[in-house]
Amino acid sequence: MELRIENLSKRYPGGAQALQNVSLNIPVGMFGLLGPNGAGKSTLMRTIATLQEADSGRAVLGDIDVLRQKDSVRRILGYLPQEFGLYPKVSAEALLSHFATLKGIRSGKERGDVVEALLRQTNLYDHRRQSLGSFSGGMKQRFGIAQALLGNPRLIIVDEPTAGLDPEERVRFHNLLSVIGQNIIVILSTHIVSDVTDLCRNMAIIHEGRVRVAGNPSELVAELQGRVWKKSIAHDEVNSYGERFQLISMRLFAGQTMVHVFSPRQPDASFEPVAPDLEDFYFATIKGFIYSAQTATVN
């Protein structure tokens, strides 16, 4: 099964063009949708999740028309939005059982078995009788994944799942997602580059409602070999360097300001070559320094 998106567009009533002719082929596995806030990621995710309409285009999941056969999509979809509400006084076990009933699992024994298995899978079984209001942010996100896994979905969408999590919870959440994504389509929508680096075999960068590039992260980064240079500068020199060079990024390192610039050749003798990473590729793409998306198709 794969998800095929063709020329999907969406303009909001106020005039904002959220999506512009978005086309992607998304195979089984973890797929990273990377872009800054406001790029159109959440609009695309909500459209695929049948929560809003597109103005034009189509999306097909296997043999299901996503935009027209919404009930069929919902039966095989798991969705974890960026923000979701929980009943703070209800236990994890009770609420997950309630969601299982809504998902159509009527047998009490089957429902109990499913709930137990999911709580164990998300490492929440020991907290099953604890009220959700007492859960940490990471525990709530893992509970969100547990409810998204109800009904054995073939497609799971997670929107900005690690924002605000501490490093330990992020690692735990990454491990959970990597296991889930072995046999089904999991779309990870995020602005955190390291999430995609750690988890995804395939990815796309979306910016200003358009897909700028799609492919394998390692292969995309390889396009930058020999074209990224670094230099340590004084902080008050940043603006002048931004005017003189194609400045990819700047960061503090050991009390100094380290800049990365994009250039086909060494800008001058004071710059050193640096092995590019996905963050370099991401910023170079959204700043318009490179554009390698002749087609936004992942095979």
Share of the chain above pLDDT 90, in %: 72
Do 6 and 61 sit in the same domain of this protein? yes
Q: Report whether pLDDT(297) > 60.
A: no
Identify the pLDDT of residue 160: 83
> Cα dist. 34→38, 114, 146, 162 in Å?
11, 33, 24, 13
Q: What is the residue range of 197's domain?
A: 1-76+153-215+279-291+295-299
42 and 58 housed in the same domain: yes
Range with lowest mean pLDDT among 3-12, 55-64, 153-162, 208-217: 153-162
Q: How far apart are CA 203 and CA 214, in angstroms?
A: 6
Residue-level pLDDT at 103: 87
As a whole number of angstroms, the distance between CA 206 and CA 48 comes to: 15
Please give the tally of structural domains in the chain. Answer: 3
The three-state secondary structure class of 279 is: helix
Mean pLDDT of 67-76: 94
12 within domain boundaries: yes
Single pTM value for the model: 0.88
The domain boundary residue, chosen from 152, 173, 202: 152
The answer to whether residues 136 and 242 belong to one domain is no
Same domain for 179 and 67: yes
What pLDDT is recorded for position 73?
95
Q: Which pLDDT belongs to residue 294? A: 37
Q: Say yes or no to pLDDT of 298 above 60.
A: no
The whole-chain average pLDDT of the chain stands at: 91
pLDDT in tens, 230-265: 999 988 899 999 999 999 999 887 778 999 999 999
Q: Is position 221 within any domain?
A: no
Average pLDDT rounded to a whole number, residues 111-126: 94
Check pLDDT > 90 for residue 281. Answer: yes
* Strands ordered across the beta sheet of 56-61: 17-26, 3-11, 56-61, 64-65
- Lowest model confidence (mean pLDDT) among 64-73, 188-197, 224-233, 290-299: 290-299
As a whole number of angstroms, the distance between CA 218 and CA 234 comes to: 32
Task: Give per-residue pLDDT as tens, 132-188.
Answer: 999 998 899 899 999 999 988 999 999 888 877 888 888 888 888 888 899 999 999
- The 10s digit of each residue's pLDDT in 182-217 is 999 999 998 889 899 989 999 999 999 999 999 999
Q: What is the pLDDT of residue 171?
A: 86
Domain identity same for 211 and 283: yes
> What pLDDT was estimated at residue 291?
62
CA 77 to each of CA 152, 190, 214, 250, 297: distance values in angstroms, whole numbers, following the listed order: 8, 19, 23, 40, 22
Helix 137-148, helix 167-180: angle, nearest 10: 10
Candidate from 37-41, 81-85, 259-263, 295-299 with smallest mean pLDDT? 295-299
Same domain as 253, residue 158? no
The verdict on 239 and 200 lying in the same domain is: no
Residues 43 and 2 in one domain: yes
> Are residues 287 and 202 part of one domain?
yes
Give the Cα separation of 32 and 203 in Å (integer). Answer: 4
Check whether residue 59 and residue 160 sit in a common domain.
yes
Question: What local confidence, expressed as pLDDT, does residue 57 receive?
Answer: 97
Whether 4 and 148 share a structural domain: no
Per DSSP, 51 falls in state: S
Quote the pLDDT of residue 299. Answer: 38
